[in-house]
Amino acid sequence: MVAITTDVNRPYVPADGATVTATVDVEPGEQREAVERHLLLCLDASGSMDGAKIDQAREGASWVFGLLEPDDYVGIVAFDSEASVVMRPTRWAETSREAAMTHVDRLGAGGGTDMYDGLATARDALETLSHRPETDRAVRRILLLSDGKDNSHDPPEFEDLATEVDESGIRIQSAGIGTDYDEETIRTLGTTARGEWTHLTSPGDIEAFFGDAVERAQSVVATDATLELDAGPGVEVSEVYRALPQAQEVDVAWEANTAVVPLPDLAERERQRVVLKVRAPRREQSGEVALADVTLSAQGREATDRIAVEYTDDGEDLAEHNESVSLDHRQTVVRTELGRGNVEAAETEVEKMTQIHGADTQVVEEVEEQTRLVAEGGREERDRATRIVDDARVE
C-alpha cells in the first residue's frame, strides 16, 4: 500500500511561532496489475545529430522495441526544421520488430531545430489514443532527446507547453546530449511535466537513457499523483522542493488554504521525498497542533499524515533539533541550484549549512564536494548533483 511519513526538524515551537522544516516521504507500495505503457520517442533529427548521435538514436529505438510488451504502444516523432510522425503510436502486438525497424531505418538527420513543434506533435500523437478508456490508466511518456537549441522558442514557452502536456496526463523524460543544447529548456521540460531531466555525455548513453525510462515506466504503481497540503489558519508554506527522485523546485498551486504539490508517477521501490518550510504562526495556547494535513492521492490510492508541532515554553524541548530533516531540505536546495549551474547560490547555502551543522557532517561534506565538482565541471556534474542517493536502495 502507498504510505506517507512526515517529519519536522523542530517538533517543539515557542508561543511566538517559528519556521520549521518538514519532509514528506512517499512509499509507493506495490503494483497491483501490469501497466500499459504509451511511449513516444521524440527525437531531434536536425543536422547536428548526423553521425553517431542519430545512429545511436536508432539503436535506442531498437532497444526500446526489445523491452515492449504486447499491450504497450510505441510511436516516434522526429523534428528538424519541422516535426514529422515517423511512426504513429502503435500497439506492439499489432506490429513487428521488422516493421517498426523500417520506420526507424528511415530516420535521417538534417535541417534546423523546431523542438517546440516536435514536442507538440509528440503530444498530439499520444493524444490519438485518448479515446480508449484504457488510456486513463496507462503510463504515458514522451522521451525527448535533443542536442540543440530550438530556433524560435524560449524556455517560458516550453514551460507553458510542458504544463499542457502534463495536464493531459503525459510525463516528459527529457535528455540533452552534448554541449550545445539549451539546458534550461531541457530542465524545464522534465521538471514541469513531472519527469526527470538528464544530461547525456556521449551517443553511447542514448540506449541506456531510453531503456531506463521505458523499464521504469513499467514499474509504475499509480499515475496522477499529488500531495495536498491543507494548511491551518495563519500557516505559511514555502520553499517546496522534490528531493527524490531528482532535486527539483516545485511550482505549488494554491487554492484558499490548500496547496497541491504535483508528484511524478509512483513507481515500485522508488521512494519519493518532498521537502518544504512551514511557518507556524503565533499561538498562546500550548499543546500539539497540526500545521497542515497532508494527503497523497494517486488514481484512487490515498494516504494521509500531518505536519504537527507542539507549542511549549519548555527550554529543553524547544532545543530539540532533528538535524537530518534540516539537512534534507538544505541539501535539496543546494542540489537544485547546482542543477541550474548556480554555483554561487549553492556556495552561499553550503556556507550556512557549515555554520549550523558543522563541516564534518556527512551531508555537508557531500554537498561541498558536489559544489566543487559543479564549479569545476560541466553539464554531467550539474545533472549528477541533482541525484540524491537513497540509502535504502543499493545498485
Partner 1 sequence: MSAVSEGDLVAGRYELGEVVGEGGFAKVYRATDTKTGETVAVKYPNYEGSQNDRDIVTRYFEKEADTLAAVRDAGGHPNLMSLLAVEEVDGTTVLVVEFVDGYELDSAIHQTGPLSEADHVRQIGIDLCDAMSFLHESEIVYRDLKPDNVVVTDRGGSVTPVLIDFNTATGFDAGGGGADETTIVGPYKPREVAEADRTEMRQGPWSDVYSVGKILLYLLKGTVPRKDGVDPRDFGADCEPYLAEIVEKATRTDYEDRYRNATAMKRVLEARDPTPPAQAQVRYTQEDAVYTVYPGDTIGRRHADGPQSSIVVDDPEEYISTVQVQFDTDEDGEWFIRDRSLNGTYVQTGNGWQRVLCPAGRRRLEARGEDPTDRSGETPPEVFGLRDGDLVALVHPSYGVTFEFQA
To partner 1, the closest distance from the beta carbon of 1 in angstroms equals 13
67 binds partner 1 (CB under 8 A): yes
Give CA–CA dist 78/44, Å, rounded: 6
Strands laid side by side in the 197-200 sheet: 83-91, 73-79, 37-44, 139-146, 171-177, 197-200
Q: Check: CB of residue 194 under 8 Å from CB of residue 159.
A: no
Indicate whether 208 belongs to the interface with partner 1 (CB under 8 A): yes
Minimum distance between the CB of residue 126 and partner 1, rounded to whole angstroms? 23
Closest CB 180 distance from partner 1, rounded Å: 24
Residues paired with residue 297 on neighbouring β-strands, in sequence order: 226, 302
Quick check: 392 binds partner 1 (CB under 8 A)?
A: yes
Helix (H) or strand (E) holding 354: helix 343-357
- Only one of the segments 14-22, 130-138, 200-208, 379-387 lies at the binding site for partner 1 (rule: CB under 8 A); that segment is 200-208
The grid coordinates listed for 358 are: 558543522
| 391 interacts with partner 1 by CB under 8 A | yes
The one-character DSSP state at 34 is P
**At closest approach, how far in Å is the CB of 132 from partner 1?**
25
Quick one: 56 or 113, whose CB is closer to partner 1?
56
Confirm or reject binding of residue 65 to partner 1 (CB under 8 A): yes
Strand order in the sheet with 301-311: 12-13, 301-311, 287-298, 225-231, 258-263, 253-255
The residue to which cell 529505438 is assigned? 61
Q: 90-120 burial by CB neighbour count: b if 16+ within 10 A, else e?
A: bbbeebeeeebeebbeebebebbbbbbbbbb
Q: In the set 16, 82, 215, 344, which binds partner 1 (CB under 8 A)? A: 215
Sole binder of partner 1 in the list 59, 157, 228, 230 (CB under 8 A) = 59
Query: DSSP per residue over 62-109, as a string?
Result: HHHHHH--TT-EEEEEEESSSEEEEEEEEEGGGS-HHHHHHHHHT---
Does residue 106 touch partner 1 according to CB under 8 A? no
CA of residue 256 relative to chain centroid, distance:
26
Alpha helices in 26-72 (DSSP H): 52-67
Our CB check for partner 1 shows the closer of 215 and 323 to be 215
- In whole angstroms, give the CA distance from residue 374 to residue 353: 18
Residue number, 69 or 136, with CB nearest to partner 1:
69
Mapping DSSP to helix (H, G, I), strand (E, B) and coil, where does residue 261 land? Answer: strand
70 binds partner 1 (CB under 8 A): no
Of 45-53, 135-143, 208-216, 336-344, the segment contacting partner 1 by CB under 8 A is: 208-216
Contact pick of 269, 321, 384, 387 for partner 1 (by CB under 8 A): 269
Span 237-256, contacts to partner 1 by CB under 8 A: none
- Residue closer to partner 1 by CB (options 284, 395) is 395
Q: Which is nearer to partner 1, 63 or 112 (CB)?
A: 63
Q: Does 394 bind partner 1 (CB under 8 A)?
A: yes
Q: Please tell me whether residue 365 binds partner 1 under the rule CB under 8 A.
A: no
By CB under 8 A, tell whether 319 contacts partner 1.
no
Burial of 199 (0-12, 13-18, 19+ CB in 10 A): buried
**Which part of the chain contacts partner 1 (CB under 8 A), choosing from 17-25, 56-64, 178-186, 288-296?**
56-64
Nearer to partner 1, 17 or 211 (CB): 211
One residue of 15, 16, 30, 352 binding partner 1 per CB under 8 A? 30
| Minimum CB distance to partner 1 smaller for 34 or for 253 | 34
Stretch that binds partner 1, among 55-63, 255-263, 304-312, 325-333 (CB under 8 A): 55-63
Decide if 166 contacts 226 (C-beta within 8 A): no
Residue from 207, 224, 228, 239 in contact with partner 1 (CB under 8 A): 207
Residue numbers of the site for partner 1 (CB under 8 A)? 30, 59, 62-63, 65-67, 97, 204, 207-208, 211, 215, 269, 389, 391-395
